[in-house]
């Protein structure tokens, strides 16, 4: 069984890379939006709805299937069946990736003209069809590296892909692409297409060096192809439905804004400001959690296979505590500094408005992400996808009803409804099957009090020394750092993150799990101690 130290090291590596990549990505997104304008960003968001469905068809649940199957085989056979399992996963991905490519290429024109009702999207969809097969195959290889705990290989692939995308997109936009909305869209998408292909080539090369770790191949038949289909298809079918509903939602938003009384260009601009400018900022801090969440799947899968329910409850408690501590602080910064964020990053008051409205949802969004990862590790992927389907259906109905009557505010209300519903269903399910009993005071109330105190203190200090009303990158950075320092201080003062948690982190790095955990962990997260402590 993987030690907690190994898990932590992998998670820290992926988190550092993911945070770096998200920083570069958000910075590049800000640069692109300033270069091409909000209307182009809105058109990219419109295209992304159709592309999201095509990507869902291309991958068809194969990433999760790869992680679960490889993790199971590692736990049961020590890796002797990994090559056979990976081959089956690659064949599955190749079939669906090719199918998605052919369908999108054949349907690009009718979708662009009759569904999106914008001829500028036709060539963009044709270009995107070429990326689907590389994405499908890369999903398998990324899942494999996650399952075998070689996180650095995923990190290398991410860095290279982002570098190629930024370099090529910038060159195309500045030197080659026509200075039109359609030309800008094609340039951005072409940079991403080439980057996806380069990422696949690198992943294949990294796998060739990695497969020597499993030289002894078992001759025992495990029914691998059927196992891949049995794990991936329930997820895929649910994902098809949810992705189709989300695509419909993306199409309905500009139409609804137009019905509200806004012309088409202005509707695309408002949609772009919310979906392609404000949301990336709101989700930016989640890069620090996404890698931990991804690595939770094989970790919890192994614990589930071993029947170790106590360990699963322990992991759930730690994950919720760390997620909420981080998310509440991030939410406070976005809520109280939304004006400065929108002005400094985009010089756009509308973006500031959207960031402020989305900020209270940050803890719910981040907690839902962590919960979904744990549910998938426990084999609850079908339940998660069913919840996501209901979420998407309600979202489509809300957009259809609210946006023509409330404008962009109707879409914001829709986001609130669906995020709260999704998180509530997922958290209740995890609490039920894991047996974890949370403490609301420690997990939520103390972090909220600490976040409010930190923002108030930092605001008072900066008001005293304020020299100018116009925010700048330096003043914004100093303000955020001040809030973080006071937040951490108040967390320690209120015992939301106290000595027990520091001892836990210390034990992770020094691989001294048992002593500190037995003495100071379980009582922090359970209202009463579990009656059974043995593995079932």
| Euclidean distance between CA atoms 228 and 234, whole angstroms | 11
Locus of tokens 């194969």 = 62
**Which two three-digit tokens encode residue 102?**
């052919």
Q: Per-residue pLDDT for the chain (536 aa), expressed as one digit of tens each? A: 445 556 566 666 667 777 777 788 888 888 888 777 777 888 888 898 899 899 999 999 898 888 888 877 776 666 566 778 888 899 999 999 999 999 999 999 999 998 888 888 999 999 999 999 999 999 999 888 878 777 677 778 888 888 899 899 888 888 887 778 888 888 888 998 899 889 899 988 888 877 655 554 444 555 577 778 888 887 788 788 888 888 888 888 888 888 888 887 888 888 888 888 888 889 888 877 776 666 666 677 777 777 788 888 888 888 888 889 999 999 999 999 998 898 888 888 888 999 999 999 999 999 998 898 888 878 787 788 788 889 989 999 999 999 999 998 999 999 999 999 999 999 999 998 888 888 888 888 999 999 999 999 988 887 765 545 667 888 888 889 999 999 999 998 888 876 766 776 665 555 444 434 443 334 333 334 344 333 33
Contact 343, 352 (CB under 8 A): yes
**Which two three-digit tokens encode residue 473?**
């990158």
Using CB atoms within 10 Å of the CB of residue 499, give its burial: 0 to 12 exposed, 13 to 18 middle, 19+ buried.
exposed
**Which two three-digit tokens encode residue 241?**
């439905």
**Axis-axis angle for helices 349-358, 338-345 (nearest 10):** 140
Instruction: Give the pLDDT confidence score for residue 524 in this predicted structure.
Output: 37
pTM above 0.85, yes or no: no
Q: Which residues of 301-331 are buried (b: 16+ CB within 10 A; e: fewer)?
A: bbbbbeebbbbbbbbbbbbbbbbbbbbbbbb
């Amino acid at each position: 069984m993987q030690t907690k130290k190994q898990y932590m090291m992998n998670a820290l590596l992926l988190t550092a890379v993911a945070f770096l990549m998200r920083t570069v990505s958000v910075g590049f997104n800000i640069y692109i939006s300033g270069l091409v304008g909000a209307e182009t960003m809105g058109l990219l968001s419109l295209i992304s709805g159709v592309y999201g469905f095509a990507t869902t068809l291309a991958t068809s649940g194969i990433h999760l299937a790869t992680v679960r199957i490889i993790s199971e085989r590692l736990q049961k056979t020590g890796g002797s069946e990994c090559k056979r399992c990976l081959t089956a996963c690659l064949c599955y991905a190749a079939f669906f990736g090719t199918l998605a490519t052919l369908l999108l290429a054949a349907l690009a024109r009718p979708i662009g003209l009759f569904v999106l009702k914008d001829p500028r999207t036709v060539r963009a969809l044709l270009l995107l069809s070429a990326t689907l097969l590389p994405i499908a195959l890369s999903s398998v290889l990324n899942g494999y590296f996650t399952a075998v705990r070689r996180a650095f290989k995923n990190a290398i692939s991410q860095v290279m892909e982002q570098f190629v995308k930024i370099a090529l997109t910038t060159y195309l936009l500045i030197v080659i692409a026509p200075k039109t909305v359609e030309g800008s869209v094609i340039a951005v998408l072409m940079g991403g297409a080439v980057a996806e292909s380069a990422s696949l080539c690198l992943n294949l090369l990294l796998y060739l060096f990695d497969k020597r770790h499993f030289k002894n191949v078992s001759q025992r038949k495990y029914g691998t192809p059927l196992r891949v289909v049995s794990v991936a298809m329930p997820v895929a079918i649910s994902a098809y439905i949810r992705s189709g509903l989300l695509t419909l939602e993306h199409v309905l938003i500009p139409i609804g804004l137009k019905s509200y009384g806004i012309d088409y260009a202005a509707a695309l601009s408002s949609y772009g400001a919310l979906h392609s400018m404000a949301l990336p900022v709101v989700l930016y801090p989640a890069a620090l959690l996404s890698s931990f969440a991804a690595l939770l799947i094989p970790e919890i899968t192994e614990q589930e296979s071993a029947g170790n329910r106590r360990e699963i409850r322990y992991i759930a408690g730690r994950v919720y505590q760390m997620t909420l501590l981080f998310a509440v602080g991030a939410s406070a910064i976005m809520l109280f500094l939304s004006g400065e964020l929108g002005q400094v990053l985009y010089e756009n008051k509308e973006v500031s408005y959207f960031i402020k409205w989305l900020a209270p949802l940050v803890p719910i969004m981040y907690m839902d992400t962590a919960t979904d990862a744990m549910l998938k590790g426990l084999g609850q992927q079908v339940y998660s996808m069913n919840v996501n389907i209901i979420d998407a259906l309600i979202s489509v109905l809300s957009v259809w009803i609210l946006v023509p009557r409330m404008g962009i505010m109707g879409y914001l209300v829709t986001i609130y409804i669906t995020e709260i519903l999704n998180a509530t269903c997922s958290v209740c399910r995890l609490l039920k099957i894991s047996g974890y009993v949370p403490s609301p005071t420690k997990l939520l109330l103390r972090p909220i009090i600490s976040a409010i105190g930190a923002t108030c203190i930092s605001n008072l200090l900066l008001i005293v020394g304020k020299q100018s009303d116009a925010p700048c990158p330096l003043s914004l950075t100093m303000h955020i750092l001040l809030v973080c320092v006071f937040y951490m201080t108040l967390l320690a003062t209120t015992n939301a993150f106290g000595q027990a948690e520091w001892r836990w982190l210390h034990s992770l790095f020094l691989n001294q799990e048992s002593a500190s955990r037995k003495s100071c962990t379980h009582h922090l997260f359970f209202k009463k101690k579990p009656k059974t402590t043995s593995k079932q």
